[in-house]
Structure 1
Amino acid sequence: MSYKYKYFIANWKMFGDFSSFRIINSINNYVNKIKLKKNRIIFCVPTTLISHFSNKLKKSKIFIGAQNCHYLDDYGPHTGSINSKMIKSAGANYVILGHSENRIEGDTDNLINNKIKSAIKNNLVVIFCIGETLKQRKQNLTNKILSLQIDKGLKLVKSLKKIIVSYEPVWSIGTGIIPTHKELTETISFIRNKLNKKFKKKHSVKIIYGGSVNAKNIRKLIAIQGISGFLIGGASQSGKKFIDIIKNCYM
């Protein structure tokens, strides 16, 4: 992975409380000890933890992100919602949008697009998730689905400077199954070519992989040409497991 950064992005999902900072602190201590360069570690945590964790990490090289946001820029009558402006003011610099778990709960491509535009407007870097189901993969629809998700999700988005595209095959999330070397190489290449064509190669394309990433398979994954980093789910809820992933990337 010969890019400006290797991205190690943790998606904690519905996990953690104030005491869970010990996990991030152990990772922070490790990174400071070995003086790891050219990496960017981001923890996307529940909204309740953003402000608390970002304050503790002010002098750290670890960044905090959110896991979703509302599509509106300003305040409004939306009980239980939080928008990108509020997320930014709480201390987050990143936000995950388009995750398959949110798509299942009703996030359409159009809604995701509006969220992305709002997040960019409020100076958040978007981790834009795309991916096909197992049924779609078996029907050879992967490229068609990814192309549609990119076209609709990034509609009227003029720049990739604030976008990290995360390829997460739905059938790989939490299953322990990852695509073959051939499948992943071909899909990452397709995504890169699609983005280069759409944005006329004006901006560098950052593509990461997510889906059952762990210390055992990370060496296979870093061998895939074109991957800039990883979106890590369950393994990010353990300091040791997350550190082992980083270690195995550099061994």
Structure 2
Amino acid sequence: MKKLIIANWKMNPASLKEAKDIFNATKKSLAGLKNAEVVVCPPSIYIAELADKAAKVGVGAQNVFYEDGKRSHTGEISAKMLKSIGAKYVIIGHSERRTLGETDEVINRKILAALEAGLKVVFCAGEETRDAENQFYNVVKGQITEGLRGINQNLLKNIVLAYEPVWAISSNSNAKADNPGSVFEISVLIRKILMEFAGGDLARKIPIIYGGSVNAENAEKFIKEGGVDGLLVGSKSLNKEEFRKILSSMSS
């Protein structure tokens, strides 16, 4: 199975020219790479332009609204709109959105809307802190079960589960990547949660990826030792050489 690498550009870069430059460099980095599928999630204003030139690179969104435009929602973008301009994926439940007040209920509604519109969902879950009593596991379990509540099992095949502990995200002060051994243990626990929710056969088909201070030095270890199906890369996906090295490590 190909490893799934999601590039979350967040609110970057500042111009379409820069976005095209980084995107073109990403496409060049894929030359000869057979073991990875790459999806770039730029700010929404760049999606249409980049999707038109996507070729072997998928394009996704970083956010979506849960209604389809039948009501007035100033400033929002629906799943159908994203789909119409070429988006194939959408990130939902990222901790930086949760910090702005998005609840598990809102995240669940967004996931439902995105799946119904035909988008694949990168569903993020992860604890704010790691406690010695391992109560953080219940936090992650709650996020997953509430986020997937009421979803038709036929649509679960379009879910990617991204484990991204908040304390490991590079944009946070004192952030430090989790270690591959710990990620392996948690990915096993997450797989068990998915099995309880959806049954064994379906749960085994849902990719589990890791995010949180991923860089060229640790990317390969998270895949080989952490046992995950891919990576969610933040700031390092904007650094052309660093991201090239991350992608290159997928073929070793």
TM-score by length of 1: 0.92
For residue 62 of structure 1, what is the amino acid of its counterpart? V
For residue 165 of structure 2, what is the amino acid of its counterpart? P
- Residues in 1 aligned to 2:137 and 2:175: alpha-carbon distance in whole angstroms: 23
Q: 1:217 to 1:225 in 2, by over 3 A?
A: closer
Alpha-carbon shift at residue 30 of structure 1 (Å)? 2.6
Q: Is 1:143 the counterpart of 2:137 in the alignment?
A: yes
- Residues in 2 aligned to 1:241 and 1:9: alpha-carbon distance in whole angstroms: 14
Instruction: Select the residue among 161, 168, 191 that pairs with 1:165.
Output: 161
Alpha-carbon shift at residue 176 of structure 1 (Å)? 4.8
SS of residue matched to 2:39:
strand
Per-residue displacement from partner, 1:30-84 (whole Å, max 9, x unpaired)? Answer: 313xx22142100011110011111122xx1101000010011334311111010
- Residues in 1 aligned to 2:201 and 2:84: alpha-carbon distance in whole angstroms: 30
Q: 1:38 to 1:247 in 2, by over 3 A?
A: closer
- Residues in 2 aligned to 1:52 and 1:211: alpha-carbon distance in whole angstroms: 28
Unaligned ranges ≥5, structure 1: none
Instruction: Select the residue among 71, 74, 80 that pairs with 1:79.
Output: 74
- Residues in 2 aligned to 1:6 and 1:221: alpha-carbon distance in whole angstroms: 11
Instruction: Select the residue among 4, 9, 16 that pairs with 1:7.
Output: 4
SS of residue matched to 1:137:
coil
- Residues in 1 aligned to 2:187 and 2:77: alpha-carbon distance in whole angstroms: 32
- Residues in 2 aligned to 1:39 and 1:182: alpha-carbon distance in whole angstroms: 22
Per-residue displacement from partner, 1:165-209 (whole Å, max 9, x unpaired)? Answer: 000000000155122333212111100111022101232121000
Q: Contact 2:34–2:251 (CA<8 Å) still a contact in 1? A: no
For residue 236 of structure 2, what is the amino acid of its counterpart? A
Q: What's the counterpart of residue 25 of structure 2? A: 26
Between 164-173 and 22-31, report the one with greater CA deviation. Answer: 22-31
Q: What's the counterpart of residue 36 of structure 2? A: 39
Per-residue displacement from partner, 1:1-22 (whole Å, max 9, x unpaired)? Answer: xxx2201110000002211211
User: Where has structure 1 moved over 3 Å in runs of 4 or more?
Assistant: 136-139
Identity among equivalent pairs (%): 37
Q: 1:129 to 1:84 in 2, by over 3 A?
A: same
- Residues in 1 aligned to 2:245 and 2:175: alpha-carbon distance in whole angstroms: 17
Matching of residues 189-228 of structure 1 within 5 Å: 189-203=188-202, 204-228=205-229
Alpha-carbon shift at residue 137 of structure 1 (Å)? 3.2
Q: What's the counterpart of residue 99 of structure 1? A: 94
Alpha-carbon shift at residue 247 of structure 1 (Å)? 1.5
SS of residue matched to 1:161:
helix
SS of residue matched to 2:189:
helix
What is the count of residue pairs matched by the alignment?
Answer: 243
RMSD: 1.4
Per-residue displacement from partner, 1:110-141 (whole Å, max 9, x unpaired)? Answer: 0000000000000000000000012x534521
- Residues in 2 aligned to 1:75 and 1:85: alpha-carbon distance in whole angstroms: 12
Q: What's the counterpart of residue 130 of structure 1? A: 125
Q: 1:75 to 1:44 in 2, by over 3 A?
A: farther
Alpha-carbon shift at residue 239 of structure 1 (Å)? 1.5
Instruction: Select the residue among 113, 120, 127 that pairs with 2:108.
Output: 113
- Residues in 2 aligned to 1:5 and 1:128: alpha-carbon distance in whole angstroms: 19
Alpha-carbon shift at residue 26 of structure 1 (Å)? 1.4
For residue 117 of structure 1, what is the amino acid of its counterpart? L
- Residues in 1 aligned to 2:159 and 2:131: alpha-carbon distance in whole angstroms: 25
- Residues in 2 aligned to 1:31 and 1:131: alpha-carbon distance in whole angstroms: 29
Q: What's the counterpart of residue 236 of structure 1? A: 237
Q: What's the counterpart of residue 179 of structure 1? A: 178
